[in-house]
Each structure stands twice: as structure tokens, then as C-alpha cells.
Amino acid sequence: MNSTENNTIMKTKKDGKFGFSFDNQVIVFALLRTSMIIVVMSIAYLMYDIISKGIGAVSWEFITSMPRKGMTEGGIWPAVLGTVYVTMITALASVPVGVFAAIYLNEYASKNVFTRIIRLSIRNLAGVPSIVYGMFGVALFVQALALGSSVLSAGLTLGLLTLPVTITASEEALKTVPISYREGALALGATRWQAIRTNVLPSAVPGIITGMILGVSRAAGETAPILFTGAAFYLPRLPGSLSSKFMALPYHLFIMSTQHHSIDKVRPLAYGTALVLIALVVAMNLTAILLRIHYRKKLRG
């Protein structure tokens, strides 16, 4: 069958019902372009709305002052600080374990059932809903380990949530280190661990840091896991210890847009909070991306 015949068959099959052929390049490419434009425009509008209405509320004072008069006035300082604290605990909890697990997977693991089960578990952990992590945090950290509803419990819960991200990113970083780095060290008589410590890890650090930032930025925006593990509606003072409750930017936005007693009145503050939160998360993501590009160039050059 030559190609012209083939085309005619395809056409007779698809024509008629719609009055045009779905093999028509102009029409199909236009449809594809339309779907792309719809997606890009929705994102652009989302960002435009938050930025244009939030920018009026945001000032240095808004970020660094306490909320006043039942949160109808003033700033978001305790929420900013709470988010910073909780993400620091998250990073401390998930990065070491994530890196160690990645070292196992990339440097030690042989292709056996045990390794496959670990990989399967990691992928499934990445798919567990964030609210389920929240329940796990309540049952494990708040109740069983008696850490109470606190910034520590919330940070550890978020640490579990980000673990799949940290492991995957760290493993990717280790993978980019050329095999010859290991072989060189081993040939000089170094043990496996010495090769990893002196030759592999230093080259993988930028990649690991990139992964850490991505994981932490996800944690900073999460609300569901901290709902019951330590986030507070309102606190008159800043969190003082690991066992105190805390305010967080995402939870604050949730409250300001659904739970507050005069939602319409605080709408500008909610917009301001949304903008600060987006700016924080996007800035972290941009840093990670720029770091990645920078070190990739360096590795090649």
C-alpha cells in the first residue's frame, strides 16, 4: 500500500462526522495551541490577580508587625516566623535521612527485591495525601510520642512528607557524579566509604541543596499536615520553644479567607498574605532552578 492510498483510507475513516479531518495539520495544531494558551492564560491571570490586589497590602511593616484588633489590622510577622521555624525543623528532619537513603540507593544497593521494595515505598509515599500525613503526625508525634500539638510535631510531620522529594533529588545528584570519580579513589586503595566521602559527596552537594530547597518550599506551602499537629489560629506572642504552637502563612491565609469573623473586611490582608506566601515559595523554587543551571554549566565546563 503506498502512502497516498494510506492517507485516503485514514481520511475516509475520520472525515464526515465532524466535517473536517483530525489529520488536518492546520486545525490540529491550532487546537493544540489553544490548549496551551488556555493553560498559560489561566496561570497568568491567577498570578496577576494575586499580585495586583496583594501588592497594596504588602509593605515592610505588614511583614514585620504583629496582627492587631482580632487580626483585622496589622501584619503577619508571627506567621512568617512560624513558617520559617517549621520549615527549618522540616529540613533538619528530612535532609540527613533523605541523603543517607539516597547514598544507600545509589552507592550500595544491588538490584534485588529489597531495593525494589524500597523504591516502590518511596514512590508510594510521594502519592500519600498530605492530610493522611497530618493524621499520622497526630497519632505518632502528638499522641504516641507525647510531643503535643507543637512546632516540633508539625515540623517532623512535614519532614516525613518531604522525605520522598529529598531522597529522589539527592539520588539524582549522586547519579550525575561520574563513575570514574569512584573508580579513581578505589584504584588508589580507598575503601568504598572513603571514595564516597571524599570524591562523590562533595560533587553532589549542589544537587542535594537544590533538592533540599525544593522539598522545603513544598513544606512551606502545605496546610493540611499542620492543621492538627501544631498550627494555631492566633497567638499573641511569637513561638518561644519547640513545644509551643505556632502561626503559619498558609494556615493564616486559610483562616483569613474562610474562618475569620469578618471575612470581607480582612480580604486585603488575605491577599497580602497570599502574595507573601507565593513570593516566598516561588523565590525558593527559582533559587533551586538557578542553582541547578549554574552547577550544570560548571560540571560541563
Partner 1 sequence: MKNKKELAIALFFTLNGALAILILTGIFYLLLSNSFYAWRDVGFWRFLTGLEWRPAGFSHSLYGIRTLIVGTLMVTAGSMIIAVPLGIGCAAYLAEVASPIEREIIKPVVEVLAAVPSVVLGFFGIVVLSPLLAKVFNLPNGLNALNGSILLALMSLPTIISIAEDALAAVPREYKEASLALGANRVQTLRHVLLPAAGSGVTAAVMLGVGRAIGETMTVIMATGNALKSPTGYFSSVRTLTATIAIELGEVPYNTTHYYALFAIGFVLFTMTFAVSLLADIFLHRASEVGKR
Contact predicate 176/104, CB 8 Å = no
- Residue of 289, 290, 293, 299 that binds partner 1 (CB under 8 A): 289
Site membership for partner 1, residue 47 (CB under 8 A): yes
Q: Report the nearest approach of partner 1 to the CB of residue 133 (Å).
A: 8
- To partner 1, the closest distance from the beta carbon of 60 in angstroms equals 22
Q: Which of residues 229-248 bind partner 1 (CB under 8 A)?
A: none
Exactly one of 36, 205, 290, 299 binds partner 1 (CB under 8 A); that residue is: 36
Given candidates 10, 187, 205, 290, which one binds partner 1 under the rule CB under 8 A? 10
Burial class (CB in 10 A: 0-12, 13-18, 19+), 75: buried
Sign of the alpha-carbon dihedral angle for 86, 89, 91, 94: negative
Residues β-bridged to residue 68: 73
> What's the first-to-final CA gap in the chain, in angstroms?
51
Site string for partner 1, 74-113 (x = CB under 8 A): -----------------------x--xx-xxx-xxx----
What is the rounded distance in angstroms from the CA atom of residue 243 to the CA atom of residue 87?
Answer: 15
Q: Which of residues 131-170 bind partner 1 (CB under 8 A)?
A: 131-136, 138-140, 143, 160, 163-164, 167
The closest of 264, 281, 102 to 176, measured between CA atoms, is: 102
**How would you classify residue 70: left for phi > 0, otherwise alpha for psi between -120 and 50, otherwise beta?**
left
DSSP bridge partners of 74: 67
Contact 221, 158 (CB under 8 A): no
Query: According to the binding rule CB under 8 A, does residue 193 interact with partner 1?
Result: yes
Q: How far is the CB of 25 from partner 1 (least distance, A)?
A: 5
Verify binding: residue 222, partner 1, rule CB under 8 A. yes
Give burial (CB, 10 Å; 0-12/13-18/19+) of 255.
Answer: buried
Kindly tell me which of 203 and 267 has the beta carbon lying closer to partner 1.
267
Q: How far is the CB of 264 from partner 1 (least distance, A)?
A: 11
Q: How far is the CB of 5 from partner 1 (least distance, A)?
A: 10
Q: How far is the CB of 167 from partner 1 (least distance, A)?
A: 7
Per CB under 8 A, the segment of 73-81, 120-128, 180-188, 201-209 that binds partner 1 is 120-128
